[in-house]
A and B are shown apart, each in its own frame.
Chain A
């Protein structure tokens, strides 16, 4: 595990003020926001700066991180890498969640962050404030499934690292595996809720819930747009010019016969009603026609192309004045 330099992630000096950190974060967050950034690694950069901001804008976490950074700078581990914080490194520090921090905030943070601050970014167990009762916090994660799983439903195993409280009231990280039932017809962006699988409660109160955001992995044939699916359908020039019946696979399995209209053009869109993602209002399957040329790789094929040129003289560059 690499030691993460949160100051350089935000491009600020070690003695940066809270205001400097806030300004640096906002500038970088605009640069790497997934909706506007053209950078290839924008998602990873956004995670890094979120993590750095989370630590450096919290006085207690920042002080503890600085102490750890000093320790690593003085010697670190023999290979120069970072393994675990030294025992007692956090003595005298107590971390709290600040206002406005949602429970989803730490779901994507690095191993380095989790090894120091736990999966929720807090280690409040180091100083108990007396017995209290509180329902566990809800937690968030994402699950990526195939289009086939979304269409037919499935059961998937999900490995998560989560925080648990030990007998001494201190949090520690454990790996756990959940069996998740994916209901048929689930769509990207929908949330699956797993009751009682969030963070543990205190004083006998129930655990929080776990929310899984559904993501669908890219498919070799179909592209998802909302409830609709898009597929490129190659057709020959003959099929496009004269019209034809062709057989195409459907996302739910099986095949359907489709009529290619006479005079079809490249990029023409055909709709197969309600063969997209299922649901109360089922999506449609759209076929984008792509005219594929037969190769002129034999004497007969070459002769046929020449014959076509003679029989149907055609200048595709006429509109260019050529």
Chain B
């Protein structure tokens, strides 16, 4: 079988519905992620039908889904964990940039 359509999310971002499907969730769950600022949308004043999500959003949504499932975390706690993880990775990258990693 051959793949016919290949797109990178940076050039073809996902809608709320598509992101929800990609993580096996309901649309409402994606809206909650925006509400607790796990996901950020460029145009929050626009209706959700016009929101778009890229690779980093899919990565965070998948990570939030795992935290919810694996540790019973609520989405506010998941948001904090994801922010701390991002900070940890930023600091590690900084160490790497100075040859200290």
Residues of A within 8 A of B (CB): 22, 25-26, 29, 35, 50, 53, 97, 100-104, 135, 137-138, 140, 176-181, 183, 186, 189-197, 208-211, 213, 223, 225-226, 228, 230, 267, 269, 279, 286, 288
Contacts and interface: CB of A to CB of B under 8 A. Distances in A.
B96 A137 contact: no
A145 B38 CA distance: 29
Contacts of B1: 176-178, 197
B77 interface: no
A196 B21 contact: no
Contact of B24 (A101, A177, A181): A101
A191 B58 contact: yes
Contact of A102 (B4, B62, B72, B88): B62
Nearest to A36: B88
A192 B8 contact: yes
A134 B22 CA distance: 15
7 contacts: A22-B72, A100-B65, A102-B23, A180-B6, A208-B21, A210-B3, A226-B93
B10 interface: yes
B9 interface: yes
Nearest to B19: A138
Interface of B: 1-12, 21-25, 55-56, 58-59, 62, 65-66, 68-72, 85, 88-89, 93, 96-99
Given A183-B6, A191-B58, A197-B3, A102 B70 contact: no
A123 B24 CA distance: 18
Contact of B96 (A183, A192, A223): A223
Contacts of A102: 23-25, 62, 65-66, 69
